[in-house]
């Protein structure tokens, strides 16, 4: 059975409609959302409403959490003070626009969704704010999958889709304890193949193209397809400016990457 | 190069601390004393020990302290950790333990405890109570090597000294590797990584403590009362 995984919708209704249409055309009935339904974009209520109407199971993203609980991440969320100011403005605007019913819905979202050996999170099993980048330390990546007790860990948050297969993982250790003159014990641990699948971003792609991205996973074959979906970018850009959000958010959508706003320490885990 | 002494889990026991100080004087060639948390506990009045740690006697090694799990719980209960309270302590030991812990420490010591750091970085070593993940992270000789490597990687250190489990151990990452393939919209690439030569060391707790020579990378597990020249517990 094929299922679709979407993430980081970011209140971009035009992009979400295009992605859902693409999924529907492929006859896929099971969709999972990895959070960040709101933030940056001009249609927070409309996007939440559509996700609810479609009954799409979602986990909570960092923006969804922040809108409900107030900004609570440390400075790790933003790579610069300018980015932080813009982010705070978007947060304030979104919090004002979002109705109570939709806020309650976002508050109800779980951190983790699980279907058998498939686990779905926004950032990582540790935190909605942690980035699992494609080239991160492979053992750290494997640790995240193992911690989640998963065969495949689906995540988002980076806005860049990828599939990473981790294989032939082996660690040999020498263990010494204060037990007289006994020699150190040696042991070896090996792990089976594990995968991390990043679904990219529907509403704010940052992979160098303006197309919305998501993934389709075929459980029968194990194949993961990264989908790119064109949508009416200008419709969203116009709305961003009309509602008074920072114009740079529209500029980013037109270019498909986040100008000078890549997190400095992507492996940092926000402790707050 | 002089050695470090690494101590934890004193839990308010001044007599034990004095015994460790005597042991260190007898051993000699120890120039730095690190106390990796759990200075206090619910079982005895900790004020005399806290006074001594802040005001060492002449001839004693001056301790460099960090906070541990018990300090974290007390500080949480007393409002030093935002909205968090000592819920873990409550769950594990009950309300009576929370009250006993509060009674064990005079409020006058709270500011000093609150100023203690999470850990130290010395040379290429991280000195922590739990781990880089959490003060309560309990690493032991049987912990998954993947977990141990993750905790080392988070701090970007070659040696991680931990105290939370109370165990004395040294797990040396001695080999291995991992392959990975990354596929994205730009194409596919292969990555290969080997296990770095790193160690996680459990320093023990209470009367069991450890000595570390950063010059030779030798560690010795000690127990108060052990003869200075005795062999069999230390190793290279």
Band of pLDDT at residue A71, cut at 50, 70 and 90: low
> Is A25 a domain residue?
yes
SS3 B71: helix
Residue B184 to residue A178, Cβ atoms within 8 A: no
From chain B, the residues in CB contact with A166 under 8 A are: 178-180
CB-CB under 8 Å, A146 with B180: no
Considering only CB atoms, which residues of chain A are within 8 Å of chain B?
126, 134-135, 137-143, 146, 160-178, 180-181, 184, 186, 188-189, 191, 207-209, 213, 226, 228, 267, 269
Mean pLDDT of A112-117: 96
B contacts of A126 (beta carbons < 8 Å): 133
Q: Is residue A244 part of a domain?
A: yes
Show residues of chain A in contact with B195, CB under 8 Å. 139, 170-172
More confident residue, B29 or B33: B33
Asked whether B178 and A166 are in contact (CB, 8 A), the reply is yes
Q: What residues in A contact B198, CB-CB < 8 Å?
A: none
B230 close to A (CB below 8 A): no
pLDDT score recorded for residue A7: 97
For residue range B104-131, what is the model confidence (pLDDT) as tens digits? 999 999 999 999 999 999 999 999 999 9
Cβ under 8 Å to A: B residues 161-190: 167-186
Within a domain: A200 = yes
B191 has a chain A CB within 8 A of its CB: yes
We report the CATH number of the domain holding residue A12 as: 3.60.21.10
Q: How far is B203 from chain A (nearest CA, A)?
A: 10
Q: Is residue A231 part of a domain?
A: yes
Q: How confident is the model at residue A85 (pLDDT cuts 50, 70, 90)?
A: confident
The 10s digit of each residue's pLDDT in A118-147 is 999 999 998 888 899 999 999 999 999 999
Range of the domain at A240: 2-255
Residue A260 lies in a domain: no
In a domain, A92, yes or no: yes
- Render pLDDT for A243-265 as a digit per residue (tens, 0 to 9): 999 888 898 898 876 544 444 44
Is B184 in Cβ contact with A143 (below 8 Å)?
no
In a domain, A174, yes or no: yes
- Predicted confidence (pLDDT) per residue in B139-157, tens digit: 999 999 999 999 999 889 9
ipTM of the shown complex: 0.89
Which residues of B are less than 8 Å from A141 in CB distance? Answer: 180
Q: Where do the domains of chain B lie, and which CATH numbers do they carry?
A: 3-235 (3.60.21.10)
**A266 falls within a domain:** no
- Nearest chain B Cα to A173, which residue? B173
For residue A91, name the pLDDT band (cuts at 50, 70, 90).
Answer: confident
* Overall number of domains in chain A: 1
**Any idea which of A158-162, A177-181, A191-195 has the lowest mean pLDDT?**
A177-181
Smallest Cβ distance to B149: which of A139, A166, A188? Answer: A139
Of the pLDDT bands very low, low, confident and very high (cuts 50, 70, 90), residue A181 is low
């Amino acid at each position: 059975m094929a299922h679709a995984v979407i993430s980081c919708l970011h209140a971009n209704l035009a992009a979400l409609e295009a992605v859902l249409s693409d999924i529907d055309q492929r006859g896929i009935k099971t969709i999972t959302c990895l959070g960040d339904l709101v933030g940056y974009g001009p249609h927070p209520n409309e996007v939440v409403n559509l996700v609810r109407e479609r009954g799409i199971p979602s986990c909570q993203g960092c923006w969804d959490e922040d809108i409900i609980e107030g900004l609570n991440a440390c400075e790790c969320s933003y790579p610069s003070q300018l980015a932080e100011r813009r982010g705070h403005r978007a947060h304030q605007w979104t919090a004002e626009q979002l109705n109570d019913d939709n806020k309650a819905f976002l508050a109800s979202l779980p951190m983790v969704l699980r279907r058998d050996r498939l686990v779905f999170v926004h950032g990582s099993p540790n935190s909605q704010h942690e980035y699992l980048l494609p080239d991160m330390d492979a053992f750290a990546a494997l640790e995240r999958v193992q911690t989640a007790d998963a065969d495949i860990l689906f995540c988002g948050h980076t806005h860049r889709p990828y599939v990473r297969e981790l294989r032939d993982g082996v660690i040999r250790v020498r263990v010494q304890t204060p037990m007289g003159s006994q020699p150190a014990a040696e042991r070896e641990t090996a792990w089976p193949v594990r995968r991390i699948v990043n679904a990219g971003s529907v509403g704010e792609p940052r992979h160098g193209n303006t197309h919305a991205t998501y993934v389709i996973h075929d459980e029968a074959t194990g194949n993961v397809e990264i989908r790119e979906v064109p949508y009416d970018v200008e419709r969203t850009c116009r709305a961003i400016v009309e509602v008074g959000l920072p114009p740079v958010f529209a500029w980013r959508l037109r270019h498909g990457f986040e100008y000078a706003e890549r997190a400095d320490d992507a492996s940092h885990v926000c402790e707050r | 190069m002089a050695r470090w002494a690494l101590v934890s889990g004193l839990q308010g026991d001044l007599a034990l601390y004095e015994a460790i100080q005597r042991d260190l004087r007898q051993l000699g060639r120890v120039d730095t004393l690190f106390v990796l948390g759990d200075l206090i506990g619910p079982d005895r009045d900790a004020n005399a020990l806290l006074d001594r740690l802040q005001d060492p006697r002449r001839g004693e090694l001056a301790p460099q302290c960090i906070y541990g799990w018990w300090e974290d719980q007390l500080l949480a209960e007393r409002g030093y950790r935002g909205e968090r309270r000592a819920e873990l302590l409550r769950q594990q030991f009950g309300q009576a333990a929370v009250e006993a812990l509060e009674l064990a420490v005079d409020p006058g010591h709270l500011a000093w405890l609150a100023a203690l750091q999470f850990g130290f970085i010395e040379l290429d070593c991280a000195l922590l109570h739990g781990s880089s993940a959490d003060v309560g992270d309990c690493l032991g000789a049987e912990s998954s090597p993947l977990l141990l490597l993750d905790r080392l990687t988070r701090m970007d250190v070659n040696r991680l000294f931990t105290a939370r489990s109370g165990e004395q151990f040294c797990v040396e990452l001695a080999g291995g590797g991992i392959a990975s393939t990354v596929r994205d919209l730009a194409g596919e690439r292969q990555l290969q990584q080997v296990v770095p030569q790193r160690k996680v060391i459990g320093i023990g707790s209470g009367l069991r403590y450890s000595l570390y020579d950063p010059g030779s990378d030798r560690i010795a597990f000690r127990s108060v009362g052990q003869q200075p020249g005795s062999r069999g517990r230390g190793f290279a």
